[in-house]
Amino acid sequence: MSINIDHIIKSSKEFYPEINKELSDQITKKYDGGTKTFDQLNAWKDVELPETLLERYEETDSTWITKKELINLIDLKLAKGTFRPMMPKLIKSNEDEVIEDTTKSGFQVMLDFFKTHKKESMDEFWADATDQDKNEYIDAIEKSMEILCELKGVGPASATLLLSLLVKISPYLTPPYFSDESYAFYVVTPYKDDDYKVKYTTKEYVNELLPVYFEIVAQHPKETMDSLEKGAWAMKNYLVKKDGKLANIDPIFEEDEMDKLSFDEQPVFEGRTAPPPKRKKQKKSK
């Protein structure tokens, strides 16, 4: 079955920035030491920080984020999602050097995967990806997440937020952010009860969310998972807040277009050859 994603791509390019701007106009708080609005902080995350990681990679063949960058990322994550009062305290309790060393190690797993799977035309990777390719990809993601979750306050969802920052280094192989809205759009609405409570586990991400992305990019290999996440985030955000914070936004789609991405059945990837590794429990993190 051919999958139409025109609405998702349009949402990523048009709806996503519009919604962030509208939300920013309603938020009086300034971030990054009082220097950035919500919209500016979001632009920093989407553009400036991935460029910084690319520059570090080109200069040193590795990359990392600093404590200040991690604090700003978590501030943005909490501003866009559910506020968790303990999370900023836990993040700030990490030592500067530990954050840089841990993120460098976590990122390196994905960077090694990028190198070993490099092709002349990387936008065609997913069109030809075998089960072995997908297994190795998932293995790399799980190992990266396991390392990143060693940081206090960083759980699986936050780990994927960090991994999504590699998008300038490898646009087509960078994993998508495990945002509430994208999971709701791609998994909960079409396949689960509306009152399903996401657990923010690696298993949900690997077994339920990633297979949807695999199906889409196999048919649309020139689209990045980063763009697909942003498009889903925007549409689900609008549907949740259209009678409140986003009442001034004019939808660019019919509502039934925004509700979900339809498959004949829930995508699954049955090519896993080993169970995911055990992880220590994370408290008050996602």
For residue 20, what are the contacts with CB-CB under 8 A and spacing of at least 6? 38, 39, 42
Partnered with residue 31 across adjacent β-strands are 36
The pair of three-digit structure tokens given for residue 53, joined into one six-digit string: 């990681």
Q: From the CB of residue 255, how many other CB atoms can be counted at a distance below 10 Å?
A: 11
Residue 275 pLDDT: 42
Q: What's the confidence (pLDDT) of residue 235? A: 92
Q: Kindly report the three-state secondary structure assignment for every residue of 34-93.
A: CCECHHHHHHHHHHHHHHHHHHHHHHHCCCCCCHHHHHHHHHHHHHHCCCCCHHHHHHHC
Alpha carbon distances (Å) from 257 to 7, 187, 253: 7, 16, 6
**pLDDT of res. 234:** 95
User: What is this structure's pTM?
Assistant: 0.92
Q: Token pair for residue 61?
A: 């063949």
Residues near 72 by Cβ (< 8 Å), separated by ≥ 6? Answer: 31, 32, 41, 44, 45
- Give the pLDDT score at 286: 56
In the block, tokens 């079409």 appear at: 190
286 Cβ neighbours under 8 A, 6+ residues apart: 84, 155, 156, 157, 158, 200
Helical ranges in the chain per DSSP H: 6-10, 16-26, 38-43, 49-60, 67-80, 86-92, 96-116, 125-128, 131-148, 156-163, 180-183, 189-191, 202-204, 210-219, 225-241, 255-258
pLDDT averages per 10-residue partition of the chain, 286 residues: 86 95 95 96 98 98 98 94 82 97 98 86 80 94 98 97 97 96 93 89 95 94 96 93 94 73 81 47 49
Q: Which pLDDT value is given to residue 102?
A: 98
**Rounded CA gap, 4 and 253, in Å?**
14
Query: Tokens 């075998």 belong to which residue?
Result: 130
3-class secondary-structure state, position 22? helix
